[in-house]
Amino acid sequence: MRKWNKIILVFTFLFSTAFLFSQNERLIIGRTTGKLAVKKNLEIRTFGFTNSLSGQVTLPGYCVNVKEGDSVHIDFWNISQGNPVSLYCKEIEFLQRNTEKEIMKKKEPVHHMEHGFYSFLAKKAGAYLYYSPENYPFNLQAGMFGVIIIQPKVNDSLLVKSSNEILWCSYEIDTNWHTDAIMGTEYDVSNKPIVLPDYKPSYFLINGVTIPKNKGLQSLAHKKETLLLRLVNSGLYLHEIQFPAGTKLQLITGNESHIKIAKENTIRLNSGESLELLVSLENVAQKEQIIYYFIDSISKQEWYKANIPVFY
């Protein structure tokens, strides 16, 4: 009897340990085999991050969803055929480790069919963009990016009122950067920069879908329910989002300077920036729209404008 109790105790300990470990251990796979249909008869090649060999590349890639205070460990496996890549996040310090799990003093890109080991402490709740910084901005534009969501450790009283969480990751695509000649660059151990044409995007997307196909932000039947909206700019242009009059916005995480005072209910995000908003649409009319602007960061000229229904 004691023997069985001991076995059960050991099994319970191993199971609990494995469960806890699995919550903080993530596998991210770098791939160069993605496809994205930008319109009915046009499919372009993309790069991307998945969490399994069978997983399809999506834009954004694999979402790392953890809680504040978690210690997160990432096994990054680079199976892409092109130049070496790595993982980077502007707001989160990634530590890179070698195969012996020792912290590397100098971070190095991960070569084809090799593993890179990263870790970070989820210090502050919010949404963050992570991506491959090699050959910037090519790898970012190609699709090697994803979002890290750090949930608050203790539910904030404001967030409790939110019954729905939505991520809008917006970006542009220049199809001239997605040709086989460029995307099929052969492996180069020196990580030689890729020569690119001038950036002139022709497609504008949210979560992998062109903006005109976006059905809206919230169901009309639930317009009285507050939602938590995460906005992430993974493109290269400035993104300006104008909400209709009557919208109540409250900044939860992010830089408050993103919210323009000159225009009511307008958010401006530079490339790589993100924030979280508590959004109330109770006083917004049924047929109102959200206006998305894509603005050239250099010339400051409006490049594209799209209207998105508030309700569906």
Final residue of a domain: which of 131, 154, 177? Answer: 154
Residues 142 and 236 in one domain: no
Residues 177 and 294 in one domain: yes
d(CA 274, CA 137): 18
What average pLDDT does the segment 244-264 reach? 81
153-169: burial string, b at 16+ Cβ within 10 Å, e else: eeeeeebeebeeeebbb
Residues 139 and 268 in one domain: no
pLDDT-derived band at 15 (thresholds 50, 70, 90) equals: very low
d(CA 119, CA 108): 14
Residues 172 and 74 in one domain: no
Tell me if 2 is assigned to some domain.
no
Residues 181 and 209 in one domain: yes
Angle of CA points 213, 307, 172, to nearest 5°: 65
Tell me if 20 is assigned to some domain.
no
Angle of CA points 203, 207, 212, to nearest 5°: 50
Sign of CA dihedral 285, 289, 290, 291: negative
Residues 134 and 206 in one domain: no
Which phi-psi region, left, alpha or beta, contains residue 254 (left: φ > 0; alpha: ψ -120 to 50)?
Answer: left
Greatest Cα pair distance, the chain, in angstroms, is 78
* Tokens matching residue 144: 């090697």
Final residue of a domain: which of 106, 136, 154? Answer: 154
CB atoms within 10 A of CB 89: 19
pLDDT-derived band at 155 (thresholds 50, 70, 90) equals: low
Q: Per the structure, how many domains does the chain have?
A: 2
d(CA 151, CA 133): 25
Residues 304 and 247 in one domain: yes
d(CA 274, CA 60): 14
Residues 173 and 150 in one domain: no
Tell me if 16 is assigned to some domain.
no
Residues 37 and 140 in one domain: yes
Residues 145 and 176 in one domain: no
CATH of the domain at 227: 2.60.40.420
Q: In angstroms, how far is the first alpha carbon of the chain from the final one? A: 61
Instruction: State yes or no: cis peptide before 137, omega within 30 of 0.
Output: yes
Range of the domain at 237: 162-309
Residues 130 and 149 in one domain: yes
Question: Which tens digit of pLDDT belongs to each residue from 159-189?
Answer: 545 569 999 999 999 999 999 999 988 888 8
**Which pLDDT does position 264 carry in this prediction?**
76
User: Which residues share a beta bridge with 308?
Assistant: 290
57-60, Cβ contacts within 8 angstroms, sequence gap of 24 or more: 57/31, 57/33, 57/143, 58/34, 58/208, 59/34, 59/143, 59/145, 59/169, 59/171, 59/205, 59/207, 59/208, 60/145, 60/146, 60/147, 60/169, 60/207, 60/208, 60/232, 60/234
**Which pLDDT does position 152 carry in this prediction?**
93
Final residue of a domain: which of 110, 127, 154? Answer: 154
Tell me if 254 is assigned to some domain.
yes
Average of per-residue pLDDT values in the chain = 89
**Which pLDDT does position 64 carry in this prediction?**
98
**Which pLDDT does position 192 carry in this prediction?**
84
Residue 88 has pLDDT above 50, yes or no: yes
Residues 136 and 196 in one domain: no
% residues pLDDT > 70 (the chain)? 88
